[in-house]
Amino acid sequence: MLAGYFYGYMVTVLGGILADRYGGKRVLGASLLSASILTILHQSLSRISGYIALVLRILTGAVSGLLPPAIQSLFGRWGPPQEIGSLIGLSFAGQLLGSIVGLSISGYLCVYGFDNGWGSIFYVFGGISLVFSCMWFYIVYDNPDVHPTISEEKRSYLKKAIKSENAVKNVPWKRMFLSPAVWAINFGLFAYGWTNISFMVLLPLYMKEALHVDTTSNGLMSSAPSIGQIIAFPLCGRFADFLRSKKYLSTRSVRILFQSFSMVASASLLIAIGFLRCDKTVLITLLLFLSGITLSFSSGGVIVNNNDIAPSYAGIVFGIANTFVSTAGSLSSLVAKALTPNGTQEEWQIVFALCAAICVSGAILFAILVKTEIQDWANWGRSSSSVHPSDTTISRIA
């Protein structure tokens, strides 16, 4: 039942296709609207049958999976390259803040809410999302060209700074999947997703099974990585933009440096936590907080790289990579369960060592394959001057 959401979430690549072709405003708004309606219906319909509840979870995951690539697609049309790290870092921090606030309010509603407590959670959050989705359609626009109130000076600045088409008609799928730049993002986000799940999901389980930390302390300690990310995501993205804008480092150097530090430092912290005993809860909490900060350096690395190489296809590229993130999340939990049949600390150290190896491998592959200039296939179909040489040859033969 709980995994049903993630089964539906696997269609995330569809969100990128729809957003880059028809506009991120419509796709993201429809995603929020559909998810809010399904959430409101969940409590009443799930009482009819468990199968209906499972279908609702799968559908909620499917419509929610459209959201991340749609956000990236909008940034590809609204975010100037010299500010993209700050913008995406801020959006990731907002997502984490919403999770923490939502979980806190859910606990209160579970005890004091209507409809036996649990029911009120679905109605309250579904209702809030429904109102927000209506506001979204009214406030947000797909690109600067169609926004009715921004100044001409700002519109002109954005059009000059952002090298992106308002909508794409054709997708060069073959060349995209054969591009080393796209695979750099796939490998990098797979490692990031595996590591993030390890800190957010697996470590609380480790502290419960191996260290026998009580539930209250475990909850407080488990929130430390999220708090670290909320603080550091915007700052790391801003720092990356600063280094690029001042030309202290090239964009490629910044991406490699930030991603390598994020993965290697997170791997080191994960292994260190695996050797600490249950009486070191303060030190464990500190290391968990630091892990949130180290993970946030990816906001200057792989998380924004799709906007470097293909701003017109930013949603599609991120949607493909986000499928790898979903796969990493599923695999990491299955592997951890298989490697810890007894839940001992020694077994969990193997899990953390595996995660560290994936971190380092992902960082190495990203550093080898990463590109930061707009790829030739990303200009496909924009104009005759930007057509790939092989396409020009074919046209001449015809």
238-261 pLDDT, tens digit per residue, is 999 999 999 999 999 999 999 999
CATH (domain of 129):
1.20.1250.20
Question: What's the total number of domains in the chain?
Answer: 2
Specify whether 214 is located in the same domain as 108.
no
- What is the share, in percent, of the chain residues with pLDDT greater than 90? 32
Same domain, 319 and 344: yes
pLDDT at residue 385 in the model: 36
Contacts of 388 by beta carbon, 8 Å cutoff, 6+ apart: 175, 376, 377, 379, 380
For 135, 264, 269, 284, 372, the CA distances from 291, given in Å and listed in that order, are 35, 11, 7, 10, 26
pLDDT of residue 365: 96
pLDDT at 397: 35
Tell me how far apart the alpha carbons of residues 217 and 206 are, in angstroms, rounded to a whole number: 13
Does 388 map to a domain?
no
Q: Which residues contact 268 (CB under 8 A, 6 or more apart)?
A: 356
pTM for the full predicted model: 0.83
Q: Specify if 267 maps to a domain.
A: yes
299 plus 234 within the same structural domain:
yes
Report the phi/psi class of residue 245: left, alpha or beta, with left for phi > 0 and alpha for psi in -120 to 50: alpha
Structure tokens at 369: 């394959």
Domain final position from 167, 186, 218:
167
What does the pLDDT read at residue 389? 40
Q: Which amino acid is at 159?
A: K
Euclidean distance between CA atoms 91 and 382, whole angstroms? 29
Q: Is residue 10 part of a domain?
A: yes
> Is residue 211 domain-shared with residue 133, that is, in the same domain?
no
Residues 11 and 131 in one domain: yes
Task: Confirm whether 396 is domain-assigned.
Answer: no
What was the pLDDT predicted at 384? 35
Per-residue pLDDT of the chain (398 residues; tens, 9 = 90+): 656 677 777 777 788 888 888 888 999 999 999 999 999 988 888 888 878 888 888 898 888 888 888 888 888 888 888 888 888 888 889 988 888 888 778 878 887 878 787 888 889 999 999 999 999 998 988 888 888 888 888 888 888 887 777 678 788 889 999 999 999 999 999 999 888 888 777 878 888 887 787 766 777 777 888 899 999 999 999 999 999 999 999 999 999 999 999 999 999 998 998 888 877 888 888 998 999 999 999 999 999 999 899 888 988 999 899 888 888 877 887 888 889 888 888 889 999 999 999 999 999 999 999 999 989 888 754 443 333 343 333 333 33
Question: Are residue 160 and residue 298 in the same domain, yes or no?
Answer: no
Residues 187 and 300 in one domain: yes
pLDDT at position 293: 94
pLDDT number for residue 390: 36
- Give counts: helices (H), strands (E), the chain: 19, 0
